[in-house]
Structure 1
């Protein structure tokens, strides 16, 4: 699915949220690798489950062609600084929902980029008869959990001792959902 671009100005930074396009594949491959190395809030360590340029080209193509998928990028001065995806499940019993994921370069935290990627995704879902958006979040990611709650997400469950981080400790994953 393709969305019209939206312009934002937050804390002195102008940025655009728009649908991903083919030419973004190289930048997306690089930024995903960088982001994975900047935070433990995501599922991957740096370099794990690496997606190369052709891999991102295929994801963009699939998400553009499928009405139940959405791939957005956040762009500051012609540079992608974050992205999000909603991916639908095509089994009939799950056709009412999508799973959301987001990541933003650490240098661009605090500018509402993740929030606006999510708000655009929620708006898209609401206008496309998608009844439920789900996501997973690390229990220590308090800012994300607070944001998700503000936008109507509720905790639906907890996966106990789901991840092991660099400190050698196990952490819970919180499953959240927003039902319209």
Structure 2
């Protein structure tokens, strides 16, 4: 991270077009991400509305990482508005491949954890990660996530191979 400045900030509705472009590129760069088909088909207008809703929510957030004004990574917490489970936040994160191994994932995840601690709404963060994504698993463990379950055939690779997915969590407060 010595050669460039990274700005981490909340996504806002005017970021919709760039977030869609970022997502399309990331989904082509790696098959570690389980793509939500709705996310692929989301229009810029619908994403802008979604981003406004996320921005106003007390238990959801989408952070973007910018370098030279370009989004190169993001991290999110997605939680329900339903009372019994509104304290559980599902973490998602993606980074352009050119920025892997530079500490950006650590920065984004630390920001997500700090935000969760400040909300006084989120008390459990959880995520799923492909067992073969050892780099990500190491990051999650480094920041206090613990493995809860191993889900055989939890997802499929782009070529149709069944893959094991780990469920990991971190308790907040």
TM-score normalized by the length of structure 1: 0.88
Q: How many pairs does the alignment contain?
A: 171
Tell me the equivalent position of 1:3. Answer: none
1:33 and 1:112, CA in 2 relative to 1: closer, same or farther beyond 3 A?
same
**C-alpha contact 1:33 1:46 (8 A) present in aligned 2:** no
**C-alpha contact 2:59 2:87 (8 A) present in aligned 1:** no
Q: CA deviation at 1:47?
A: 10
| Match for residue 167 of structure 2 among 171, 175, 178 | 175
**C-alpha contact 1:74 1:83 (8 A) present in aligned 2:** yes
1:95 aligns with 2:114: no
Q: CA deviation at 1:58?
A: 1.7
Structure 1 portions without partners, runs of 5+? 1-9
**C-alpha contact 2:13 2:51 (8 A) present in aligned 1:** yes
| Match for residue 26 of structure 2 among 31, 35, 38 | 35
Q: How does 1:134-145 map to 2 (within 5 A)?
A: 134-145=126-137
Please identify which structure carries the higher helix content.
2
Task: Tell me the distance in 2 between the aligned counterparts of 1:146 and 1:72.
Answer: 21
Q: How does 1:1-180 map to 2 (within 5 A)?
A: 10-44=1-35, 49-129=40-120, 130-180=122-172
Task: Tell me the distance in 2 between the aligned counterparts of 1:37 and 1:142.
Answer: 20
**C-alpha contact 2:63 2:74 (8 A) present in aligned 1:** yes
Note the aligned Cα RMSD (angstroms): 1.8
Q: CA deviation at 1:143?
A: 0.7
Task: Tell me the distance in 2 between the aligned counterparts of 1:175 and 1:43.
Answer: 14
Task: Tell me the distance in 1 between the aligned counterparts of 2:13 and 2:87.
Answer: 28
**C-alpha contact 1:36 1:47 (8 A) present in aligned 2:** no
Task: Tell me the distance in 2 between the aligned counterparts of 1:62 and 1:132.
Answer: 21
Q: CA deviation at 1:51?
A: 2.6
Task: Tell me the distance in 2 between the aligned counterparts of 1:46 and 1:132.
Answer: 26
**C-alpha contact 1:37 1:45 (8 A) present in aligned 2:** no
1:126 and 1:82, CA in 2 relative to 1: closer, same or farther beyond 3 A?
same
Task: Tell me the distance in 2 between the aligned counterparts of 1:166 and 1:60.
Answer: 28
